[in-house]
Amino acid sequence: MSLNPDAKSWFVYIVRCSDNSLYTGIAIDVEARISQHNKGKGAKYTRSRCPVELVYTESLSEKGDALRREIQIKKMSPQQKRNLVTNRPLYE
């Protein structure tokens, strides 16, 4: 699946930080967002944990759906998040 912003899909993404922690976010253009994280211009959480590596994406058609899914994932335990990353292809 293309991560092209012209597709107008929203993506929930998970990145693995340099300290091996996982960060979850949403974006239309995931590649650009990962670049922002790695330049220290992303979320405060990732600024001190660069570089980050994209390990999971999930495509949703609406921003509200992406926000709700992001919240669901953020409420998961670290082990549940690792299982999600392990058991799903990077690009849905």
53, β-bridge pairs: 16
Contact by Cβ (8 Å): 57, 75 = no
The predicted-structure confidence for 7-48, as pLDDT tens digits, reads as follows 579 999 999 999 999 999 999 999 999 999 999 998 999 999
Block residue for tokens 């107008």: 8
Domains of the chain (ranges; CATH) run 5-86 (3.40.1440.10)
Longest dimension (CA), the chain: 34
pLDDT digits (tens, 9 = 90+) for 56-66: 999 999 999 99
Regarding beta strands 22-27 and 10-16, do their DSSP bridges make them parallel or antiparallel, or are they unpaired?
antiparallel
CA–CA dist 56, 31 (Å, integer) = 12
What is the model's pTM? Answer: 0.86
